[in-house]
Chains A and B, each alone.
Chain A
Amino acid sequence: MNNFLSALWIETLKMRRSKVPLFTAIGFSIAPLVGGLLMIILKDPEAARSMGLISTKAQMLAGVADWPTYFNVLAQAVAVGGAILFAIITIWVFGREFSDRTAKELLALPTSRETIISAKFVVIALWTFVLSLFIFGLGLVVGKLVVIPGWSMGLLQTSFVDVLGTALLVIAMLPIVAFAASIGRGYMPPFGWTIFTVVMAQVAVITGWGDWFPWSVPALFSGAIGPRAEQLGIHSYVIVILFSIIGLVATYYWWRNADQTR
Chain B
Amino acid sequence: MNYAIETNGLSKFYGDVFAVNKVNLRVKRGEIYSFLGLNGAGKTTTIRALLGMIRPSEGNVKVLGQALGPGGRGPWARVGHLVESPCAYPDLSVRENLDIARRLHGIRNPKVVDDVMNKLTIASYSNRKAGTLSSGNFQRLGLARALLHNPELLILDEPSNALDPAGIVEIRELLISLAREHETTIFMSSHILTEVNLLADRIGIIHEGSLIEELDAARLEELRSQRLVIDTRDLSKAREALASFEVTTLADGRLATNDPRAIASPELIATLLVNAGAPPIHLAIEQENLEEYFLRLTESNNE
Contacts and interface: CB of A to CB of B under 8 A. Distances in A.
B52 A100 contact: no
B90 A107 contact: no
A87 B74 CA distance: 33
Given A9-B103, A113-B71, A107 B53 contact: yes
A104 B104 contact: no
B100 A108 contact: no
Given A107-B51, A107-B53, A259-B55, A112 B106 contact: no
Contacts of B88: 100, 102
Interface string B95-109: 010001101111000
Interface in A215-262: 256-257, 259-261
A56 interface: no
A2 interface: yes
B4 to A, nearest CB: 15
A154 to B, nearest CB: 46
B219 to A, nearest CB: 32
Interface residues of A, number: 30
Interface stretch (B78-86, B175-183, B193-201, B268-276): B78-86
A33 to B, nearest CB: 28
A108 B87 contact: no
Contacts, number: 84
Interface in B152-186: none
Contacts of A109: 76, 104-105
A111 B89 CA distance: 18
A7 B104 contact: yes
A260 to B, nearest CB: 4
A17 to B, nearest CB: 5
B100 A257 contact: no
Interface residues of B, dominant DSSP:
loop
A104 B76 contact: no
A65 to B, nearest CB: 43
B87 A110 contact: no
Contacts of B106: 2-3, 6, 110-111
A235 to B, nearest CB: 34
B103 A10 contact: yes
Interface in A127-156: none
Given A17-B91, A102-B88, A261 B100 contact: no
B72 A113 contact: yes
A108 B71 contact: no
A113 B84 CA distance: 20
B71 A256 contact: yes
B87 A100 contact: yes
Contacts of A53: none
Contact of A111 (B54, B96, B104): B104
Interface string A5-30: 01101100110011000000000000
B22 interface: no
Contacts of A17: 89, 91-92, 96
B72 A101 contact: no
B54 A259 contact: yes
B15 interface: no
B276 to A, nearest CB: 62
Nearest to B71: A256
Q: Which of A9, A14, A100, A112 has the most CB of B within 10 A?
A: A100
Interface in A145-191: none
Given A18-B91, A111-B106, A259-B54, 14 more contacts: A3-B106, A6-B103, A17-B91, A108-B51, A108-B53, A109-B105, A110-B77, A110-B104, A110-B105, A112-B71, A113-B71, A113-B72, A257-B55, A257-B71
23 contacts: A9-B103, A10-B103, A14-B89, A17-B91, A100-B87, A101-B85, A102-B87, A104-B84, A104-B87, A105-B87, A106-B104, A108-B53, A108-B76, A110-B77, A113-B72, A256-B71, A256-B72, A257-B55, A257-B70, A257-B71, A259-B53, A260-B53, A260-B54
Interface of A: 2-3, 6-7, 9-10, 13-14, 17-18, 100-102, 104-114, 116, 256-257, 259-261
Interface of B: 48, 51-55, 70-74, 76-77, 79, 81, 83-85, 87-92, 96, 100-101, 103-106, 145
